[in-house]
């Protein structure tokens, strides 16, 4: 995979209380995303609860997703782990299975230095799997500077960056700083769904979307409007998603995604413990919003 472009859908990974992935449910989640025509699927991202799964369960999830996608769409897969040797093994597993790229976050317990993160990426890149820098400081407690992005992105095999989208007024400067720091050809994409339309309109290469794992057609419509330069239409479509964005912001997109998957009839699963499902009243509110959005 030379780069990541367009809409990357990030689904949940349904599993039981014992941490065993429900592969039948996962196939039911992944297949419609491929059918909808998303540009890639971000399996085992933060929404996919990768830190809560064993190496064996991650491989079972990846095999099931690849089977459900049937070669129609590339699968990016989380390979982050506390230890560098474990992340390297996960990257080797992903390459052997046929994943298009690995999503590598600098997972830590003891806070990492920039030098440690660089060496971590350099070691995992030796697996030969194309890598996407996964910058998610709200979960890893490490934030990439543009300078570090530039260093890491020059490692052989690093092809993309997934960054948190800043507020709209800071978007152009943020993207410009990353473009200036990174090598030519580095794909720069953003998460934070409620800022994605502005990121795309500013020229971002990709949207890494939680909502795309639930509402791929709606998210593709936003992407296409932005790609066509129709800012008014992109923002109109984005505004229609605002009730979902408000739930994401208030209760975390991961917890809301589980409740939404149940409301949509995709699967009935709970987040991995110690995470708890939303209280019943909030799950009812999620179901109300999902009904208001209509077909996925």
Q: Is 162 a catalytic residue?
A: yes
Catalytic residue among 50, 52, 109, 162: 162
Torsion, Cα 15 262 102 123, to 10 degrees, reads -50
Q: Is 134 a catalytic residue?
A: yes
Write down the residue that tokens 């689904």 correspond to: 11
Catalytic residue among 50, 52, 109, 134: 134
Annotated binding residue at 47?
yes
Task: Give yes or no for a contact between 140 and 108, defined as CB atoms under 8 angstroms apart.
Answer: yes
* CA pair distance 106, 249, nearest whole angstrom: 23
Annotated binding site: 47
Annotated binding site for pyruvate: 47
Show which residues are catalytic.
134, 162
């Amino acid at each position: 995979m030379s780069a990541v472009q367009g809409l990357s859908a990030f689904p949940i990974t349904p599993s039981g209380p014992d941490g065993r992935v429900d592969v039948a449910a996962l196939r039911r989640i992944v297949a419609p995303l491929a059918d909808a025509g998303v540009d890639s699927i971000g399996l085992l991202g933060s929404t996919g609860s990768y830190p809560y799964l064993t190496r064996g369960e991650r491989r079972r999830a990846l095999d099931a997703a690849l089977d459900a996608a049937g070669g129609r769409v590339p699968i990016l897969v989380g390979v982050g782990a506390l230890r560098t040797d474990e992340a390297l093994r996960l990257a080797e597993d992903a390459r052997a299975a046929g994943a298009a790229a690995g999503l590598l976050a600098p997972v830590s317990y003891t806070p990492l230095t920039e030098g440690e993160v660089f060496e971590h990426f350099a070691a995992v890149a030796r697996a030969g799997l194309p890598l996407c820098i996964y910058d998610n400081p709200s979960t890893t407690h490490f934030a990439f500077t543009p300078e570090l992005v530039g260093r890491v992105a020059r490692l052989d095999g690093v092809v993309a960056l997934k960054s948190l989208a800043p507020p709209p007024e800071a978007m152009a400067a943020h993207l410009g700083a990353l473009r200036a720091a990174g090598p030519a050809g580095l794909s720069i994409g953003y998460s934070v769904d409620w800022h994605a339309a502005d990121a795309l309109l500013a020229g971002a290469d990709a949207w890494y979307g939680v909502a795309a794992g639930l509402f791929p057609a709606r998210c593709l419509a936003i992407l296409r409007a932005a790609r066509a330069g129709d800012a008014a239409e992109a923002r109109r479509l984005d505004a229609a998603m605002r009730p979902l964005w408000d739930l994401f912001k208030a209760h975390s997109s991961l917890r809301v995604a589980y409740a939404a998957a149940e409301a949509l009839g995709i699967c009935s699963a709970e987040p991995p413990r110690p995470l708890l499902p939303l209280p019943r009243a909030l799950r009812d509110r999620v179901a109300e919003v999902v009904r208001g959005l209509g077909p996925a």
